[in-house]
Amino acid sequence: MVFLLSLIAVPVSGFANEINYKNNMEDPEEIPLEVQIMLDRIYEIKEMDKSELTREERRELRKEVREIRKEVRSSNSGIYISTGAIIIILLLIIIL
């Protein structure tokens, strides 16, 4: 019982493998080339002078940024398991 209670106290972030691309910008070897190209495009768009653009052009840029961010998030490979799922798996292993 003490072992199971100690699992509840373990933070969930200890089980997650999350990559923060902003913090890894100093290490470009760790970022895949496709993701780096998409991030460069996002930074390009952020640095643009948008005051001269029409409403439709700004809308297209926003859509492009949203699509790029969605692709970058989906390219993040990792398995996320909640604490509750880990407890259930451990209980099944112990019982069986």
pLDDT band, residue 21 (cuts 50/70/90):
very low
**96: its two tokens:** 């069986």
Q: Which pLDDT value is given to residue 71? A: 85
Does this model's pTM top 0.75? My answer is: no
Please report whether residue 3 resides in a domain: no
Q: Judge whether 51 lies within some domain.
A: yes
Residue 2 lies in a domain: no
pLDDT at residue 90 greater than cutoff 50: yes
Domain count, the chain: 1
Q: Are 86 and 7 spatial neighbours (Cβ–Cβ below 8 Å)? A: yes
Q: Which domain holds residue 72?
A: 14-88
Asked if the structure places residue 95 within a domain, the reply is no
pLDDT of 32-60, one tens digit each? 788 888 888 888 888 888 888 899 999 99
**What span, in angstroms and rounded, lies between the C-alpha atoms of 69 and 64?**
9
Is residue 29 domain-resident?
yes
Q: Is residue 6 part of a domain?
A: no
DSSP-based three-state secondary structure for 48: coil
